[in-house]
């Protein structure tokens, strides 16, 4: 079997960003699909896939490691997120092909370690009351046993006001939901200074958070080690760490408790399994970053099904409307868990007619006219 063609697609549905995909075709009529991470330069990412396809076409699609090493090694300079997500999406499409060749779901190629995957959802609101109004319908309908919140003012001046809003948020949620609900927070890398990150984390200790995600930027991993010292809440990374040597360094520093790599960015299934293997001897858990499409959600479910040291998977209901129409099948959350189907590969394909009907857009991470795009002195703020 030989790879004959790589095709990219991009679609805009209900989110502010696009979803982008790769399809890999073979000379035996079997094809596989993978998803690209939204690093922000969607057109550049698709062009990268087309460029590296010259090194991929003609190869055996079952030689996943060889193909990935070709992509990374032949590009000479470190390619950053654009190259990594291209390689990841291609790898994921090759795993889909491998499952179809074997006639098995991808997770069964490696062997299941669990029957179903626990999932957590998102909750949004300016305070605990609004957040509860947002999240309760999902908790009741889908049975989620965990969710994460955000406090938009964190990282902005005045810091005291932001910290009071943080305290109110967790106090209100814990009072309403009790101690058995797992509640995490995403701070979205808006703080640079280790001392400020530590101070904010320590405010949360009385509320026993599930995790504190990206309390500071991930650019300087020694800063994470400095911040972690004396902090008694679980620290979680985000998707901005994706290269294997960065994960190895972070794990060796014992600076984070929950690792949240994105399978669309960290080398696909092949790369994620390496990160999990590095983390397991240190008893670090993986909670894969998973905010994108129905296909990405399915891929992450397969990964968690066959990877021992995973915990709750990030998830939003993708069972209705455009999210469901994007693919030929959809996985459903029941009682706070999700499970793959028993079809070969990922068990779903893209709906190619839907892709044609919903063209991509040019998007930005932040509204440049919003005050949240700037510090109090007008300097651009990280988003």
Q: What is the CATH number of the domain that holds 200?
A: 3.20.20.120
User: Is residue 381 one of the residues assigned to a domain?
Assistant: no
pLDDT of residue 155: 87
For the record, the structure tokens of 325 come out as 């129409």
**Number of domains, the chain:** 2
In this structure, the answer to whether residues 181 and 53 fall within a common structural domain is no
For residues 39 and 187, membership in a common domain is answered with no
Q: What is the token pair recorded at 269?
A: 């299934």
| One domain for residues 170 and 229 | yes
CB 235 within 8 A of CB 33: no
Give phi and psi for 274, each to the nearest 5.
-70, -40
Residues 59, 67 contacting (CB under 8 angstroms)? yes
Assigned domain for 380 exists: no
Alpha-carbon span 306 to 300, nearest angstrom: 10
Structural domain that includes position 42: 3-103
Q: Are 350 and 23 in contact (CB under 8 A)?
A: yes
In a domain, 382, yes or no: no
* 3-state DSSP percent of the chain in helix, strand and coil, to 5: 40, 15, 40
| Block mean pLDDT (10 aa), the chain, length 383 | 98 93 98 95 94 97 97 89 97 98 98 98 97 97 97 89 96 97 95 92 96 94 93 94 94 96 98 97 97 97 98 92 94 97 98 96 79 80 69
Residue 355 included in any domain? no
Assigned domain for 137 exists: yes
Q: Does residue 92 sit in the same domain as residue 145?
A: no
pLDDT at 40: 85
**Residue 78: predicted pLDDT:** 83
pLDDT confidence of residue 364: 78
Please give the Cα distance from 145 to 143 (Å, whole number).
6
The predicted structure's pLDDT at residue 383: 62
Q: Could you count the other beta carbons within 10 Å of the beta carbon of residue 367?
A: 11
3-state secondary structure of 69: helix
Does residue 176 sit within a domain? yes
- Does 96 share its domain with 243? no
146 in the same domain as 227: yes
For residue 43, the model assigns a pLDDT of 93
Model pTM score: 0.95
d(C-alpha 314, C-alpha 132), whole Å = 18
Which pLDDT belongs to residue 379? 85
Q: Is 360 contained in some domain?
A: no
Q: Examine the domain organization and report whether 137 and 99 are in the same domain.
A: no
């Amino acid at each position: 079997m030989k790879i004959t063609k790589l095709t990219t697609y991009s679609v805009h549905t209900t989110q502010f960003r696009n979803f982008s995909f790769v399809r890999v075709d073979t000379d035996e009529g079997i094809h596989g699909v993978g998803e690209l991470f939204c690093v922000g330069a969607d057109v550049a990412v698709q062009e990268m896939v087309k460029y590296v396809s010259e090194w991929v076409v003609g190869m055996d699609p079952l030689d996943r490691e060889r193909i990935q090493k070709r992509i990374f090694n032949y590009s000479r300079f470190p390619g950053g997120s654009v190259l990594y997500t291209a390689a990841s999406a291609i790898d994921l499409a090759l795993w889909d092909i491998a499952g179809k060749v074997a006639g098995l779901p991808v997770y069964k190629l490696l062997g299941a370690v669990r029957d179903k995957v626990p999932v957590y959802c998102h909750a949004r609101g300016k305070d605990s009351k609004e957040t509860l109004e947002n999240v309760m319908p999902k908790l009741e309908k889908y049975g989620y046993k965990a969710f994460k919140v955000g406090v938009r003012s964190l990282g902005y001046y005045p810091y005291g006001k932001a910290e009071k809003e943080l305290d109110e948020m967790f106090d209100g949620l814990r009072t309403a939901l009790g101690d058995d609900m797992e509640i995490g927070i995403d701070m979205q890398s808006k703080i640079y200074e280790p001392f400020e990150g530590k101070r904010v984390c320590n405010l949360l200790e009385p509320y026993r958070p599930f995790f504190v995600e990206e309390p500071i930027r991930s650019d300087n991993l020694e800063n994470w080690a400095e911040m972690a010292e004396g902090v008694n809440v679980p620290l979680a990374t985000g998707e901005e760490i994706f290269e294997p040597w960065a994960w190895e360094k972070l794990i060796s520093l014992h600076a984070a408790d929950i690792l949240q790599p994105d399978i669309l960015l960290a080398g696909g299934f092949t790369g994620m399994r390496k990160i999990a293997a590095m983390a397991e001897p240190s008893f670090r858990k993986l909670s894969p970053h998973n905010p994108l499409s129905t296909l990405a959600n399915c891929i992450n479910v397969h990964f968690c099904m066959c990877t021992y040291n995973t915990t709750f998977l990030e998830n939003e209901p993708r069972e209705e409307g455009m999210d469901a129409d994007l693919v030929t099948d959809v996985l459903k959350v029941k009682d706070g868990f999700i499970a793959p189907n028993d079809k070969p590969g990922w068990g779903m394909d893209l709906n190619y007619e839907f892709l044609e009907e919903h063209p991509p857009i040019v998007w930005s991470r932040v509204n440049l006219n919003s005050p949240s795009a700037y510090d109090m002195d007008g300097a651009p703020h990280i988003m």
